[in-house]
């Protein structure tokens, strides 16, 4: 993307809201995984896990990212932190383009951007004590030594609601909720600016989820953190997010402030997702349930035009032929749908 962005660019508008410059800026990001086949194992295709996505994350906010399993949410998170190499596009963090930083220069970036993983059982090394696990970020960055490092570990455990006396135990001695708290403590170790939380409560009991969410909110206030919160549970995302992006088959379908998205969803896919969210009270008004027909198409062979048209109850011939672009339909409310204007891009 050039420095002079068109007037309908969501990136330009996001910065024009009179707010601070974004902490994270993603421009036309793609992550395609090659598919190899044949006797010579040549590339015969690619899985378009992340396909031309642009958005920003503002300092101090929580941007929620939702969508069905397989829509590319986790691949996007791992690409942003450079666990996956981007196929194309830009990742600009705190004013610096980190899209193509060599591995030798990623240390400083990863000190400021950390990740909390989905599965608290597999994200911690079972052969190491909690003290060793929490000391690894310090060792990698050459920070704190001896008594000072142990004091830092004790402080981190206290901040996530665990007794520091437990630091010499192994992961198998903890419950799932406690392990996820340890994962959060590890992410906090280097005082990052941004934490990418990849479905951090989906593997936990419902009774424990609210505790972990409350810890994340308290830590955000205390440490002035910014979150990219990835989840498939719209009720969880509503609780913690300021803005929400809806993904489908590697593309951003809708992006809006939380209240605006839940009160007035624009994209048919968002409307279908919200219609399936259980209501807390029997008297609460809910939209009629929208049942999507068919299965999620393969990201290795996505449909032409709008990728949602094969399941969309409102699809037209234009949807089958042309790809909609993300455009503003209300204040800071962005939708990629032909129902809202004629601004399109060729497939």
pLDDT in tens, 159-211: 999 999 999 999 999 998 999 999 999 999 999 999 999 999 887 888 888 89
pTM of the model: 0.87
Residue 284 is predicted with a pLDDT of 61
Residue 15 is predicted with a pLDDT of 47
Task: Answer for the pair 308, 273: CB distance below 8 angstroms, yes or no.
Answer: no
Task: Answer for the pair 326, 282: CB distance below 8 angstroms, yes or no.
Answer: no
Residue 10 is predicted with a pLDDT of 52
Task: Answer for the pair 57, 194: CB distance below 8 angstroms, yes or no.
Answer: yes
Burial, 282: exposed, middle or buried (Cβ in 10 Å; 0-12, 13-18, 19+)? Answer: exposed
Dist CA 213 CA 215 (whole Å): 5
Phi first, then psi: give them for residue 4, nearest 5 degrees: -95, 95
Task: Answer for the pair 80, 228: CB distance below 8 angstroms, yes or no.
Answer: yes
Regions in the chain scoring below 70 on pLDDT: 1-20, 279-287, 342-347
**Phi-psi region for residue 315, left (φ > 0), alpha (ψ -120 to 50) or beta?**
beta
Dist CA 156 CA 149 (whole Å): 11
Each residue's pLDDT tens digit, 54-101: 999 999 999 999 998 888 999 999 999 999 999 999 999 999 999 998
Dist CA 316 CA 204 (whole Å): 41
Task: Answer for the pair 229, 197: CB distance below 8 angstroms, yes or no.
Answer: yes
């Amino acid at each position: 993307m050039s420095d002079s962005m068109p007037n309908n660019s969501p990136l330009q508008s996001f910065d024009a809201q009179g707010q601070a410059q974004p902490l994270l800026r993603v421009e036309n990001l793609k992550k395609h995984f090659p598919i190899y086949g044949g006797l010579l194992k040549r590339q015969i295709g690619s899985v378009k896990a992340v396909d031309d996505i642009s958005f920003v994350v503002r300092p101090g906010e929580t941007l929620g990212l939702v969508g069905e399993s397989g829509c590319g949410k986790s691949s996007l998170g791992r690409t942003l932190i450079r666990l996956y190499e981007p196929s194309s596009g830009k990742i600009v963090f705190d004013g610096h383009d980190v899209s193509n930083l060599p591995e030798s220069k990623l240390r400083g970036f990863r000190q400021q951007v950390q990740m909390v993983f989905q599965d608290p059982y597999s994200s911690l090394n079972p052969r190491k004590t909690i003290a060793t696990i929490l000391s690894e970020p310090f060792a990698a960055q050459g920070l704190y030594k001896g008594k000072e490092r142990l004091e830092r570990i004790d402080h981190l455990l206290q901040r996530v609601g665990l007794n520091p006396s437990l630091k010499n135990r192994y992961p198998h001695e903890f419950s799932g909720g406690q392990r996820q708290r340890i994962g959060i403590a590890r992410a906090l170790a280097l005082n990052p600016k941004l934490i990418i939380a990849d479905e951090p409560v989906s593997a936990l009991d419902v009774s424990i989820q609210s505790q972990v969410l409350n810890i994340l909110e308290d830590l955000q206030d205390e440490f002035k953190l910014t979150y990219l919160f990835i989840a498939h549970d719209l009720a969880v995302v509503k609780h913690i997010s300021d803005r929400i992006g809806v993904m489908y088959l590697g593309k951003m379908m809708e992006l809006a402030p939380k209240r605006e998205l839940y009160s007035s969803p624009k994209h048919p896919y968002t409307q279908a997702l919200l219609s399936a969210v259980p209501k807390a009270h029997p008297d609460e008004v809910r939209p009629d349930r929208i049942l999507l027909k068919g299965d999620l198409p393969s990201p290795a062979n996505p449909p032409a035009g709008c990728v949602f048209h094969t399941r969309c109850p409102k699809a037209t011939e234009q949807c089958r032929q042309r790809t909609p672009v993300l455009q503003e339909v209300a204040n800071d409310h962005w939708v990629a749908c032909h129902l809202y204007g004629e601004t399109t891009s060729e497939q």
